Amino acid sequence: DKFSVIATVRSKGSAGKLTSAGLSESSLVEFDLAAAAAEASGSTAAAAGLAAALQGADALVIATSGVPQIKYLSLIPVMLAKITGKEGVRPEFSWKQGQHPEQIDWLGQKVQVDAARAAGVKQVVLISSMGGTDPDHPLNKLGD
């Protein structure tokens, strides 16, 4: 093997998905990104735990993202618009407490980069969604 993988997950459910895909439990670190981002200083126990997990790593690949939750009742106007031919009606979304894009995609990623820096990680790869630099992008208008 040329490298070994250590995966950070936000929940035991995510850990289960990775172990069922073949990653060993010893390769998983549970990391409360929302809590670390809420602190925003990177000095939380969670951030310190991530820095410790990254000790000796050559690279960190960040693929975190806030996950919108659809407001199901907002689908009614969308369906009516489809029937009547009205355009521009979109469903509405919300975010779990503490998991807005600013908290996860900005502050949470910053915590991860800071932890990588503290651990001496040589390279960070950020996998991001489109629209990150455009405040008017539709992805940045999702949720309340």
| Active-site residue, from 11, 43, 128, 129 | 129
Q: Which residues contact 44 (CB under 8 A, 6 or more apart)?
A: 35, 36, 111
Check if 128 is active-site: no
CB 7 within 8 A of CB 25: no
Q: What tokens appear for 49 in the block?
A: 């735990």
Instruction: Please name which of 16, 39, 31, 30 lies closest in space to residue 98, comparing C-alpha atoms.
Output: 39
Q: With beta carbons less than 8 A apart as the criterion, state whether 112 and 60 touch.
A: yes
Residue type, 56: G
Which positions are annotated as active-site residues? Answer: 129
